[in-house]
Structures are given as C-alpha cells and as structure tokens.
Structure 1
Amino acid sequence: MAVIREQDLDKGRSAFAQWRDAAEDMLNGTGTQASTAAFRLSLKPSLPRPVWAMAVRYSLHLLERKAPGPGVEVRVAPWGAIKILEGPASDPHNLTPPDVIELDPEVWLRLAAGITTWSEEKEAGRITAVGERDDLSDLLPLL
C-alpha cells in the first residue's frame, strides 16, 4: 500500500513546503540561537495535525522514490512506513525486513528538510535503528 494516495501528492507537497517554511521562519527568527544544535534538535513548528500527516507521507514518498527496494523499513508513526533500498526482503513468516528505522514525525521532518543531520539526531538518541543499513545520511536531506 502506498504511503500517500496519488490524488494527495499536491496536498503533500504543499504540506511539506508549509512545514519547511514554518521551520525556516523559526530558525530565522532566533538569530545566533538557530545555529546551535540544541535549538535545531528541538525545532517543532506549531502546525495543524493534518499538515504534519501530509508532510510526513509526502516526504516518505520522496524517499521511497529516491531509494526503492524491499530491504529497509522506515517507520514514522503514526503516519507512515515505507520499504527502501535493495537488499534482503522480509521473510514470508515475518513481514518485517532485517533492517528497521523508527523516527518520530518531528525528527523525520527535520532530517528530510535538512535542518538536522543524521549523526546529530542519532547522537541525541532520537533515532531507533536495527540492522546493518541503519544510516540514511546519504539519502538526506530530500530536497
């Protein structure tokens, strides 16, 4: 099942842009504080829940198109999960692939928009990753 419906791609694109713009406004309004990792790692724009949901789904869609495959599952609960990258797929009895990455929506969107880096979020303990391919830094940011 697709993470976003074809007819919702424009809404998703708009929601992701809205999230990114709100995050950039927060960064621009804080002066030197914006350059600190602590501030960027806590960045969470105040937007309606449907905007967050569509932004997550659309950005996961972009990642899925950038790195298709069955080898790594990326989960951003509660709004989406995708499988990406080539490699061993799920075994037929356990539908979870050998590599799983779980992120909260704000962590995922910060990474997707390039506000924080994979290593910053990982060192802060905000990424749960199991498996050999537990680093998406080569694929991020998405835009």
Structure 2
Amino acid sequence: MAKKIDIVDGRTALDVVKQADAAGEKPPRLALATAVRYLLQLLDEKAPGNSVEVRVPPFGAVQVIQGPRHTRGTPPNVVEMDAATWLAVALGEEQWADAAASGRIAASGTRADLVDVLPLRP
C-alpha cells in the first residue's frame, strides 16, 4: 500500500460506515474506501508477506501471508470480494467460510484462505 492510513482516520471511517449501515443508509464513498484500506493495512501488518493478493475493488489490494513470492502477472493465490463482504469478514461480523460458501468471496490458490488471520482487531 502506498500511503499508510492514520489510525484515527481509519477508525473514524469505520465508525461512519457502521453508523450508515445501522441506519440502513449507504455509507459515504470516501468513508467506505478509507475503512477498506485501513483494514487491508491492518491485515498487511498482521500477516506480512507476498504469497496471497487480497483485492477489494475498486478500493485497494494488498499482498500478505509469507510464502513464495510472485513477480509477474496474476499471482497464484488471489482473494477478491466486495467492500461490504471485506468489512464483514475482517471485523468478524461474518465467518470466512460462510461468505466463501455463499459465493461472495472468490479465492483461488492453495494459500487463498484467510481464516487463520481474520478477524482483525482495529
């Protein structure tokens, strides 16, 4: 990730997103983007490495989990999901297995399972 997100900004963005969800409203795009990137940053800090690419389009992507490093093209281990799913599994509001079984997580590769590093504790 290019720029580290300040903890206060990340937590504030998470609060804004949670408040919008609780009110049944769509969260502001900037808050959603900041919350997603903040949680990706926390994942990177918790499980540094280069063997799995976690993508949450269009907001961000990070390479995590120690193991073989890829240098070109699509990495062999990719996890991709939308922002709402990422927030839910990253915060422990939904189990990884349930989100994956419902098809909201696309995971390919032998290391593309984040159950051992989630949830995160912001």
Length-normalised TM-score, structure 2:
0.88
Match of 1:137, SS state, is coil
Match of 2:42, SS state, is helix
- Runs (4 or more) in structure 1 with deviation over 6 Å come to none
- What is the percentage of aligned positions where both structures have the same residue? 45
Residue 7 to residue 133, structure 1, CA distance change in 2 (3 Å): closer
Task: Report how many aligned residue pairs link the two structures.
Answer: 121
Residue 45 to residue 112, structure 1, CA distance change in 2 (3 Å): farther
What is the rounded CA distance, in whole Å, between the counterparts of 1:100 and 1:140 in structure 2? 16
Residue of structure 1 equivalent to 2:4: 6
Question: Could you say which structure has the higher helix fraction?
Answer: 1
Equivalent residue for 2:15, pick from 14, 17, 21: 17
Residue 10 to residue 95, structure 1, CA distance change in 2 (3 Å): farther
Residue of structure 2 equivalent to 1:115: 93
| Cα deviation 1:99-134 (Å, max 9, x = unaligned) | 011111111001111110101101101111110012
What is the rounded CA distance, in whole Å, between the counterparts of 1:7 and 1:78 in structure 2? 17
Residue segments in structure 1 that go unaligned for 5+ positions in a row: 27-43
Residue of structure 1 equivalent to 2:33: 53
Residue 86 (structure 2) pairs with residue 88 (structure 1): no
What is the rounded CA distance, in whole Å, between the counterparts of 1:6 and 1:114 in structure 2? 23
Length-normalised TM-score, structure 1:
0.76
Residue segments in structure 2 that go unaligned for 5+ positions in a row: none
What is the rounded CA distance, in whole Å, between the counterparts of 2:5 and 2:90 in structure 1? 22
What is the rounded CA distance, in whole Å, between the counterparts of 1:125 and 1:7 in structure 2? 30
Code of the residue aligned with 1:115 in structure 2: it is E
Match of 2:80, SS state, is strand
Two-structure CA RMSD over aligned residues (Å): 1.9
Point out the more displaced range, 8-17 or 62-71. 8-17
C-alpha contact (below 8 Å) 2:4/2:41 kept by paired residues = no
